Amino acid sequence: MTRVELPISLEADGRFNEPSFHDAIVTGIEIVDRSTEYVASSPVDIYISTEYPKESYRLALLGTEVFNGFNLFTGNVIFDVQCINATTIDAAPESWVYQQLERLYSPQGRQWGPAVNDLSSYVDRIRTGEIVLVLLDPTFGFELAAICREVKVVKITE
């Protein structure tokens, strides 16, 4: 099996341009076990398959601090993957960024979670480039919001 890290091209609003994961399928999630020592942030890998062309990828969320993924079913069709980082954060209204940050804590929004000033610290850290907000929006199935230090895409070939 060969693994090749690919460059990521984002639209101005942070949506993945290349590689495009629109209509791809989420096939699995792996949270690396760090049980031998306490590590505040672990890598989270999202495995993705595309049909045309038939390819497999690993979306690696390195240094993941907060992860909220839900609705993982047998078929999980991706609508969009978006990275809100220091370059893309100003493309959207600040209120929209706060709504997306609330997804970190509950699928229904703000049933529980941090106070607005805690979310403000995330916005500040995104603006400085310390962290990235990753959003995976489904056509059907798996939905994700995560805060991590870095995002990488790895193409997997057999």
CB 12 within 8 A of CB 89: no
The reported pTM is 0.87
Total of domains in the chain: 1
3-state secondary structure of 20: coil
Cα→Cα distances 49→58, 64, 110, Å:
9, 22, 32
Dmax (CA) of the chain: 47
The tokens for 73 are 């079913």
Task: Considering only CA atoms, give the Rg of the chain.
Answer: 15
Which three-class secondary structure state does DSSP give residue 152?
A: strand
- Side chain identity at 57, as an amino acid letter? Y
Q: What residues make up the domain containing 129?
A: 2-157
From residue 50, give the alpha-carbon distance in Å to each of 23, 148, 153.
7, 24, 14
pLDDT in tens, the chain (158 residues): 899 999 999 999 999 998 889 999 999 998 876 554 544 556 889 999 998 889 999 999 998 888 888 888 888 899 999 999 999 999 989 999 999 998 888 655 444 555 555 788 999 999 999 999 999 999 999 999 999 999 999 999 98
Q: Please tell me whether residue 126 adopts helix, strand or coil conformation.
A: helix
What secondary structure letter does DSSP report for 15? B
